[in-house]
A and B are shown apart, each in its own frame.
Chain A
Amino acid sequence: MPRTSNRLTQSAAFLVLLLSAAFPARAADDVEVAVAIRDHRFEPAELRVPANRKVKLLVENHDATAEEFESHELNREKIVPAKGKVAIYIGPLASGRYPFYGEYHDKTARGVVVAE
């Protein structure tokens, strides 16, 4: 099926092009907000971020177990490894409250992003 694989190659090439075009667009002046996970709790549990700006959330997990950062309101979901540190881009957000939680310990690991 040379035609199909040719099309696949073309799509792959297009995707690479698209990605490389998108990379330099990353703004250097991202707003960064840090949040830590300790004893299956978010610290601080309330994160204030500017509205209508893209925000880089830096999540550092001090626990010995992995956590999954999850928020339906923010439309985000990401594994944070044990003793690990990851970045999650959120927004730009309209003013409001956006709850998030740690899926693996959702009794205690609860927080909210407040965009204002």
Chain B
Amino acid sequence: MFASALIVFRETLEAALILGILAAATRGVAGRGRWLGSGVALGFLGALVVAGLTDRIAGLADGLGHEMFNAAVLAIAVGMLAWHNIWMARHGREMACDARQLGRAVSSGTLSMTALTIAVALAVLREGAETVLFMQGLLSDGGGSGSLVAGGGMGLAAGAAVGLALYAGMLRIPAAWFFTATSGLILLLAATMASQMARQLMQADVLPSLAAPLWDLHTVLPTDSAIGILLHSLVGYEASPAGIQVLFYVTAAALILAGMLRVNVRAPVRSPDYR
């Protein structure tokens, strides 16, 4: 039971942390529960569909279908997070400064919230599909499946609890730092996904590894240690990343940051028309 709890926990953790960060970042946005909730629901449905289609996906592209699928999902998620962050760079401060602006800013921010909903859905879909496959395996293996499923439930609850703890922790960040902290974390999430995308494409031999590994910190901080797993999910830590992953990570982070700085400089503080 403990083993299955641990595996489900690990699969859930990443999606839960992403959800925690995005929930904190949209604090005060009217109807955010509905946006994020539908993201989770859509992602869960998607996970069931993807799990059901696993054989088909795996067989595509000469046995490399999963890499292509994951890379596409990650690319879209990176785009959505980037979009949201750049939009928030322009409108987030005015929203934080003046609560009365909120209603209007949010109605014009529908697109940005849609982007977040999609990002949440894709995160849940990716991790969820693996969890579904694992649980399916447990069920068809039989033998004490009841306790194994209970273990899965425990893992899910534990993952959700960590996400919730992160959310609660982020709400304690002082207002002056809040915006910088949340958009900084979202920026790193997007960079992390870009690096994961590079890994998928490298695994499929579409991209060269450049240098594998670029560095090796297995003895210092293994990726599968508790801190390693947490840092991996939050900021994309890997003990021995390939050069191409680091390249994608840094490039994505730099591009999004440049986009945020650019709109922030160009935008008048209270532009009523963001389009």
Does A43 have its Cβ within 8 Å of any Cβ on chain B?
no
A75 touching B212 by the CB < 8 A rule?
yes
Residues 21-58 of A at the B interface (beta carbon under 8 Å) = 22-23, 25-26, 30, 54, 56, 58
A79 touching B66 by the CB < 8 A rule?
yes
Which residues of A approach B to under 8 Å, CB–CB? 1, 4, 7-8, 11, 15, 19, 22-23, 25-26, 30, 54, 56, 58, 64-68, 72-73, 75-76, 78-89, 91-92, 103-104, 106-107
A75 touching B240 by the CB < 8 A rule?
yes
A75 touching B199 by the CB < 8 A rule?
yes
Report the Cα distance A54→B141, complex, angstroms: 35
Does B31 have its Cβ within 8 Å of any Cβ on chain A?
no
Q: Which residues of B contact A11 (CB under 8 A)?
A: 79, 255
Q: How many pairs, one residue from A and one from B, have CB atoms within 8 Å of each other in the complex?
A: 102
Does B268 have its Cβ within 8 Å of any Cβ on chain A?
no
Out of B87, B111, B137, B212, name the residue touching A104 (CB < 8 Å). B137
Count contacts on B: residues with CB < 8 A to the other chain: 49
Q: Which residues of B contact A23 (CB under 8 A)?
A: 206
Task: Quote the shortest CB–CB distance from B148 to chain A (angstroms).
Answer: 11
A-B contact pairs, 17 of them (CB 8 A): A4-B259, A11-B79, A19-B201, A19-B206, A22-B206, A22-B207, A25-B208, A26-B205, A30-B205, A64-B140, A65-B140, A66-B133, A66-B134, A79-B58, A85-B59, A86-B66, A103-B7
